[in-house]
Amino acid sequence: MVYLRMADDMTHENNGTKFMLGFIVRRCAREIGHPPTAEEFAAWANGREENGQRYSLFGRPISPSAARIILRHPGRLVTARLESIMKRAR
């Protein structure tokens, strides 16, 4: 599992791989078949599933208002970190 967090919210930015939000939004659009609305993007990001376990792509659920901000800033970097790293950091 991979969690995504805003790069400037990280205390140790070197611990993850950085992606632009536009990459994540394009992945969502590809999976749902059209550019997502804020509500669709929030539902998609919050409803991820892997090996029968559900998780939120950004490490916690996002609201449609947060999704609107994400959709307006596709060039912003987020940092992806493996779940095992996230658990050790808590």
Q: How far is CA 19 from the centre of its chain?
A: 9
How far apart are alpha carbons 47 and 58 in whole angstroms? 11
How far apart are alpha carbons 74 and 88 in whole angstroms? 29
**Number of folded domains that form the chain:** 1
* Predicted TM-score (pTM) of this structure: 0.70
pLDDT in tens, 59-88: 889 999 999 999 999 888 877 655 544 444
Question: Residue 85's domain spans which residues?
Answer: 2-89
Q: Which of helix, strand or coil describes residue 52? A: coil
Coarse DSSP helix, strand, coil percentages of the chain, rounded to the nearest 5 percent: 50, 25, 30
Report the mean per-residue pLDDT for the chain: 78
Residue 25: what are its φ and ψ, rounded to 5°? Answer: -65, -40
